[in-house]
């Protein structure tokens, strides 16, 4: 597992940088301005991928927590732990960029709208997960308690997704949906999808690096870790 | 799968179902509080008393915007395609405010049924396209509507 993460990480990093550069260039330079919002809509190229990833990472975290609870796989627990700070960062970016977008377009930085509130709740779930892990003394009980919190919190994900359809909100409905044709011109859509891919790769790269570190930490008494340290003159 | 694991799997599923049902009940009970704004139909049905602060949301009716020549006062009418409500506001409107645009206003209705707004926010839709495309669609009369129709989610008192 350690070797798998070790080998995969640089490839993911390279691909991520490639998509990021292409997506940003196409999105910020090539894509046309919007008919209504002008150039300020371009923050969508950060906002939407970050918001999408904030939910995706949580689903990964909750799934691996469930796997850990049922099968007691240590690696699943590590994936969940490694994902939490990344997910929290994506959520914070989504909230901040949303705020920067809301001020010029809607006329307010923040409103207690169902979409915004449930996304803020997601940030607190990530932070709560990390705090809970830090608060309990023994690693075993911390893993178990945090896994339960992660699974319980997953009910927030459909709420975030459907909030704009179930309730009256200031936030607009989704632009890209599975069933409808996306309500975005193709020249603007392509860079957006590239950016989503780039953020996806960014997450997986980060995950690999973090899981690698967690494995080393947990196995710090194993002989192969000692050999590795020897080889790298640590 | 060993019986022990099966049991744990059942526990996780049960936990998810339990929490899901609890949250669904909770969210349903607070429906009125989660709704960000009332529609003009709600207001017409008497959902709010005069003087009670609330938010109203709807489309600005074409041709209804009247600006004062002396100050920043502006009056317009909001619709949810069923009922209309007159709104008056003094202050700076967001850039996206225009006729045919969705907006959300904070304020209260007076005795005559006019909504006195203290804050007006613009609600933009989920469609993005270059200006040339928008122009062409407009000419062809094929401008996409928003799925955020203001009439489907009314809250009756």
Least confident piece of the model among A2-6, A55-59, A114-118, B59-63: A2-6
Residue B140 belongs to a domain: yes
SS3 readout for chain B: CCHHHHHHHHHHHHHHHHHHHHHHHHHHHCHHHHCCCECHHHHHCCCCCCCCCEEEEEEECCCCCEECCCCCEEEEEEECCCCEEEEEEECCCCCCCCCCCEEEEEEEECCCCCEEEEEEEEECCCCECCHHHHHHHHHHCCCCCCCCCCCCCCCCC
**pLDDT tens digits for B126-148?**
888 888 888 888 787 777 766 55
Q: Tokens 């005069």 identify what position?
A: B50
Q: Do B67 and B140 lie in a common domain? A: yes
Tell which of B4, B42, B121, B126 to mutate to test the A interface (max A CBs under 10 Å): B126
**Per residue in A225-234, pLDDT tens?**
888 888 887 6
Domain that holds residue B15: 1-34
Residue of A nearest to B106 (CA): A111
Domains recognised in chain A with CATH numbers = 2-233 (1.20.120)
Whether B122 and B71 share a structural domain: yes
Beta bridge partners of B121: B104
- Chain B residues in contact with A166 (beta carbon < 8 A): 153
Tally the domains of chain B. Answer: 2
Please tell me whether residues B66 and B134 are part of one structural domain: yes
Is A40's pLDDT higher than 90?
no
| Model confidence, pTM | 0.88
Express each pLDDT in A161-214 by its tens digit: 988 888 888 898 888 775 667 788 888 899 999 999 999 999 999 999 999 999
pLDDT tens by residue, B79-99: 888 888 999 999 888 888 888
**B26 at interface of A, judged by CB pairs closer than 8 A:** no
Q: Is residue B8 part of a domain?
A: yes
């Amino acid at each position: 597992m350690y070797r798998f993460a070790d080998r995969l990480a640089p490839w993911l990093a390279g691909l991520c940088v490639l998509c990021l550069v292409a997506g940003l260039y196409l999105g910020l330079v090539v894509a046309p301005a919007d008919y209504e919002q002008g150039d300020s809509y371009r923050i969508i190229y950060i906002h939407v991928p970050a918001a999408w990833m904030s939910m995706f990472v949580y689903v990964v975290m909750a799934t691996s927590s469930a796997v850990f609870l049922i099968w007691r796989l240590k690696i699943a627990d590590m994936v969940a732990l490694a994902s939490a700070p990344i997910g929290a960062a994506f959520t914070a970016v989504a909230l901040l960029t949303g705020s920067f977008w809301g001020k010029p377009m809607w006329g307010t930085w923040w409103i207690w709208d169902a979409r915004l509130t449930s996304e803020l709740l997601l940030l607190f779930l990530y932070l709560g997960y990390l705090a809970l892990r830090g608060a309990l003394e023994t690693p075993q009980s911390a893993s178990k308690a945090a896994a339960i919190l992660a699974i319980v919190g997953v009910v927030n994900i459909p709420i975030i997704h459907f909030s704009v359809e179930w309730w009256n909100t200031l936030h607009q409905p989704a632009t890209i949906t599975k069933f409808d044709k996306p309500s975005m011109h193709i020249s603007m859509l392509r860079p957006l999808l590239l950016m989503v891919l780039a953020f996806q790769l960014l997450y997986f790269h980060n995950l690999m690096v973090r899981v690698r570190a967690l494995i080393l930490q947990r196995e710090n008494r194993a002989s192969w870790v000692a050999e590795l340290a020897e080889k790298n003159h640590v | 799968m060993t019986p022990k694991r099966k049991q744990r799997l059942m526990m996780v599923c049960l936990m998810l179902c339990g929490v899901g049902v609890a949250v669904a009940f909770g969210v349903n009970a607070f429906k009125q509080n989660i709704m960000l704004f009332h529609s003009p139909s709600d207001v017409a049905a008497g959902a709010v008393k005069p003087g009670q602060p609330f938010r109203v949301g709807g489309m600005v009716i074409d041709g209804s915007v009247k600006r004062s020549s002396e100050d920043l006062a502006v009056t317009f009418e909001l619709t949810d395609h069923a009922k209309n409500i007159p709104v008056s506001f003094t202050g700076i409107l967001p850039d996206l405010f225009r006729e045919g645009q969705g907006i959300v206003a904070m304020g209260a209705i007076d005795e005559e049924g006019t909504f006195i707004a203290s804050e007006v926010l613009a609600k933009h839709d989920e469609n993005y396209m270059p200006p040339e495309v928008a122009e062409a669609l407009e000419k062809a009369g094929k401008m996409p509507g928003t799925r955020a129709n203001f009439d489907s989610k009314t809250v009756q008192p």
